[in-house]
Amino acid sequence: MASLHYKFATMNSGKSTQLIQAHFNYLERGMVPLAMTPAIDDRFGPGIISARVGLELKVEVFSDSCDLFEMVKARHGEKPIDVFIVDEAQFLTREQVYQLARIVDELKIPVIGIVARLDPIKDHASFLEAAAGVAAAMPAARFVCVGNGEPVYTASLKTRATALGLDSRLLWAGARHDMSAVYNALDVNVLCSIGEGMPNVLGEAMACGTPCVVTDAGDSALVVGDTGPVVPVRAPRELAAAMIELAGAPPAERHARALQARQRIVERYDAHACASRLGDALASVSRQS
């Protein structure tokens, strides 16, 4: 899910260094960053972002008469952009700030993620196969794998992703602790395990309003209910179709699904609801004994 962030900091706090590092990190992952700086800031030359530690980055420039939305839209049409970075945002006009919001709202890039430890039971192999199918149908789609695993198995998954041509579309995010931010950055959360218990990841994602695609393993279908597709295990073609169904839905439908997903968790799985059902179950057992 596209999002807009502003970073505020004092002078000498390393903002330019962080910007240049972020730009490099995207390039290193095979992704496409677009960075710009205002023409009025020519202290180091036109289109030069310079950090006090000695790093420099040549970027595009814009004036206060430029339409940033149209500029980014044109570039995105030539080659999908993964991130747009603006230096010295204090020089943006009011209209350009709104244009940045339009970039987020109108040039949507679907983000599909799987949040699970890298373990064969979670079947990341099927996720990668499905992602390749989604990428063919939705070239703008991007994918995220959140979680760590055993090094040899992790390397085998990354090798498979490369073979499928996913390197420029796929982010291996590793273990994360800011999970609410992770779920809110996803348009679709996928759980394609071949075996499950009661998956907490679904409750967490749905509570954040993130629709889920699941395989029919353990209680996954029970948790999701009618808020998201359920497909057979080890069925990457069906999984891809379900991912496309959610990610490609019209905005109004996606919004409705997000509300339904959260409402289902609030109504059925909050502490009071679970305690009530547990009490009912214990009372039923007591009556039978």
Catalytically active residues, by annotation: 88
Q: Which two tokens stand for residue 289?
A: 């004994």
User: DSSP readout, 203-253?
Assistant: HHHHHTT--EEEESSTTHHHHHTTSS-EE-TT-HHHHHHHHHHHHTS-HHH
Q: Retrieve residue 16's tokens.
A: 């330019």
Say which DSSP state 57 is in. Answer: E
Burial class (CB in 10 A: 0-12, 13-18, 19+), 120: middle
Q: Residues 55, 60, 66, 69: is their CA dihedral positive or negative?
A: negative
Token digits of residue 138: 């939705």
